[in-house]
Structure 1
Amino acid sequence: MTEFPTEPPSASMPERASETTPESPWPLRVLSENLKRYFERAPEAWIEGQLIEANVRGGHAYLTMRDLDVEYSLSLTVWSSVLRGLDAKPEVGSRVVARVKPSFWLKNGRLSMNALDIKPVGIGDLMVRLEKLRKALFDEGLFAPERKQPLPFLPQRIGLITGRDSDAEKDVIKNATLRWPGVKFEIRYSAVQGVNAVSQVIAALKDLDNNPDVDVIVIARGGGSFEDLFPFSDEQLVRAVAAAQTPVVSAIGHEADRPILDDVADLRASTPTDAAKRIVPDFHEEKSRIDQARERMEYAITRFVDRELKNLESLRTRPVLAAPEGMVTVRKEDLLRYRERSYSAMTHRLRREVDAIHHFKTQVRALSPQKTLDRGYSVVQKADDLSIVRQPAEAPAGTPLFIRLAGGKIAAMSEGEIADAN
């Protein structure tokens, strides 16, 4: 690194910039030399952008590079020695990478960037970079089918992001309106290629995603070259689409080189016309389906009613419904028959029991004391206490007695015991 002479600080000169005051300032050369030493220590860096201006004067090239996504630009100086050693001279409009290092000019206090090497970025390099990003996003799961949101059957309002007065806009609106005349659009115009495309498409996407009336968002462009479509593979745009709460349809219209937007979108349409056909149903087809469904329903209902009428007629002709009193008549006959059987059984049982009672009555009467008296027997009782006399000793002479006979009783007096003649 080049060394520059520096003025030794005097006793009154501050050592640091933060210590300077109006009363004790630095000489301008001190600040300039310190700045130069600071920038000279900065390392070299590779940067990428689009070359938008190139002037060659005195064998040196003075270039202007612009960032690919935002409106930032940077001036570069390519010395003749470096310019002669380049394999290919950079062209305005091309995408390049440059190895740069800052340089500070003491005389005019100008900061510039010296380009030590410049290389154009070819299609092959972009495709390799694109496939690397695609694989990284795939591994992250942004392309997974389960992350994709289903589109509404009939969106009430469609958000459309496209270029102003573009064929893509006309194709989407025309074909969607032909299929469903009542469809409404919320259109956001943005650049669809170039340095401003990514930022404007992201801004339009966020605006439509925050609109509760928008049911689906279509990002449309009518094809183009690989370089023109490169913004639709930008990582910021792809992640913004993946984070959207509203379903997003990609309608870029490029079959050969699919941008990454096609992979992360909830639906990929091959063209803007195809997008219009897939986001809204066809009115005539839906009306035809409704008519067919109505005819099938009418046919099914008619068959059901006819079948039930036949079932009712079959039920009405059954005997139980044709003559419902028959069931009562049968039960009445059963009741009469059971009553007669019960009456007969009870009568027979009563007769048997009456005969048994008469038999028992005859037996009782045959065994009664009266029947014994009727046969000529008598019962002797004492007249005072009517106790039965069973032994002669119980009625000594002079004992008053009653003698009970079959026809009554007589009074008697005991004469005492009489010897047995036997």
Structure 2
Amino acid sequence: MARLETSAESPVPVRVVALRIGEWIARLGEIWVDGQVAQLGRRPGMATQFLTLRDPNANISMQVTCPRDVLPESVVEGSRVVLRARPDFYLERGSLSLRATEIRPVGLGELLARLEDLRRLLAAEGLFAADRKRPLPFLPKTIGLITGRASAAERDVVENARRRLPGARFRLENVATQGVNAVLEVVEALRRLDRDPDVDVIVIARGGGSVEDLLPFSNETLVRAVAEALTPVVSAIGHETDRPLLDLVADLAASTPTDAGKRVVPDLAAETAGVADLRSRARSRIRARLDRERELASGLPERLRRTVRNRVRQDADDTAALRARARRRLESHLEAARSDLDHVRARVHSLSPKATLDRGYAVVRRGDGAIVRTPAEAAGVLRIRVAGGEFDATAGR
């Protein structure tokens, strides 16, 4: 198909654009489409029936027309179907729809097979890995709760949580929990709660139901939204036997909404009892320690007296031994000094002039006191000193 050449000076009419769009769409031919019936208006007596087909994983829908005999009676709003249709562009309104020639309801077995394929795909991406699970806060400031309005699931979560922790705070998001709008509403509520800084944990709760009723909680869009959430998410869907994909991606899968109410908050009574038990055990330990210390302290004076007596006795013995050793050392030093002194005295005596005089020598001085060393120096009256004393003599020639 040739491209339209246009400009501001030579625009094309709307009809030409519409015709060209219709031609392009017509070239698509018949296709098979998978979707969920969002709206269905059966018109008795009308040859043409109208329905809205919605993508279960996105907020996108299209109008579908079909002959009355093509639409099975088993198809109702919320049914999953595949249909063979041709795209139809309505020129007068510029709208696009599908003109179906065959519609087949998707059976439960096929739905379960698709869910299993989706589970394997998401598991391969690591969305269900254990190391992605985040621990729940011990004492959440606010609990975000996504559930149906005035539902039994809402009552079970709130009542059981407040029974364990009176005054537990909730931020409720009431949404459709089945049907064509359920996925979109749950995802939007999840994102609102995830943005709230006061919400520490989010619970998605719904009561039991058929596999078809619980399909929104195995929807890929919802599973990925939970995986992307920054706040820990608790899945509380149906009964213990129900196992939607939400259970696999959530940080905690509660068996029932009642179980979720018990697991998101601590049991105040049990915690109080635990604190009381710890306090009692601490008191018992302290009393036992004080009793031991008291027993030890009661015998302390006598032990101290014995210790002091023994120490004093030992110190006295050590002092006496030291005194005896000091006396012996001093006497030894004195004896050695006395011997050295006698030896020095003997040497000094042997070297003194008196010792020389005792051997018969004499010291001769002249009258002026000078010592006479040669005969020439002897003249006049001399003073002679011998060992026994002194006397005078006259020098003779």
TM-score category (smaller protein): 0.7 to 0.9
Please tell me whether residue 342 in structure 1 is matched to residue 329 in structure 2.
no
1:91 to 61, 75, 80: 75
Displaced runs of 4 or more, over 6 A: 105-110, 380-385, 396-401
Unpaired runs of at least 5, structure 2: none
RMSD: 3.7
Verify the 8 A CA contact 1:70 1:195 in the aligned structure 2: no
Match of 2:35 in 1: 49
Offset, 1:278: 1.4
1:186 and 2:171 matched: yes
Q: Distance in 1 between matches of 2:377 and 2:138?
A: 140
- Could you state the TM-score of these two structures normalised by the residue count of structure 1? 0.77
Distance 2:307 2:73 in 1: 112
- Greater CA drift, 227-236 or 300-309: 300-309
Give the distance between the partners of 1:179 and 1:404, measured in 2 at CA: 132
**Contact 1:98/1:116, CA 8 A, preserved across alignment:** yes
Q: 1:405 aligns with which of 386, 393, 397?
A: 386
Give 1:282 shift: 2.4
Matches within 5 A, 1:11-30: none
> What secondary structure does 1:164 align onto?
coil
Matches within 5 A, 1:21-420: 33-51=19-37, 52-55=40-43, 61-67=48-54, 68=56, 70=59, 72-78=61-67, 83=70, 91-93=75-77, 94-104=79-89, 112-318=97-303, 320-321=304-305, 324=308, 327-328=311-312, 331=315, 334-335=318-319, 338-339=322-323, 342-343=326-327, 345-347=329-331, 349-350=333-334, 353-354=337-338, 357-358=341-342, 360-362=344-346, 364-365=348-349, 368-378=352-362, 386=371, 388-389=373-374, 395=375, 404-406=385-387, 407-408=389-390, 410-413=392-395, 415=397
Distance in 1 between residues matched to 2:200 and 2:15, nearest whole Å: 64
Per the normalisation by structure 2, the TM-score is 0.82
Query: 1:33/1:18 Cα in 2 relative to 1: closer, same or farther (>3 Å)?
Result: farther
C-alpha change, 1:36 and 1:174, in structure 2 (3 Å) is closer
| Per-residue deviation, 1:382 | 8.4
Query: Cα distance 1:165–1:351, how it changes in 2: closer, same or farther (>3 A)?
Result: closer
- Indicate the structure (1 or 2) with the bigger Cα radius of gyration: 1
Summarize deviations over 1:24-50 as a string: whole Å, max 9, x none. Answer: x75x87666545433322343332233
2:199 is paired with a residue of what secondary structure? coil
Distance 2:372 2:381 in 1: 10
Q: CA separation of 1:79/1:224 partners in 2, compared to 1, >3 Å: closer, same or farther?
A: closer
Decide whether the 8 Å contact of 1:179 with 1:277 is kept in 2.
Answer: yes
Deviation of 1:344 after TM superposition, in Å, equals 5.9
- Describe the superposition over 1:64-104 as per-residue Cα deviations: whole angstroms up to 9, x where unpaired: 13314647341223497xx4xx9x77633332111222235
CA distance in 2, matches of 1:309, 1:214: 53
Q: Report if aligned partners of 1:168, 1:272 keep a CA contact under 8 Å in 2.
A: yes
CA distance in 2, matches of 1:397, 1:342: 62
Task: Calculate percent identity across the aligned residue pairs.
Answer: 44
Alignment coverage as a number of residue pairs: 387
Structure 1 runs not aligned, ≥5 long? 2-13, 390-394, 416-422
Give the counterpart letter for 2:334 in structure 1.
Answer: L
Q: Secondary structure at the match of 1:215?
A: strand
Distance 1:168 1:364, change over 3 A: closer
The 8 Å contact of residues 90 and 118 in structure 1, kept in 2 or not, is answered as: no
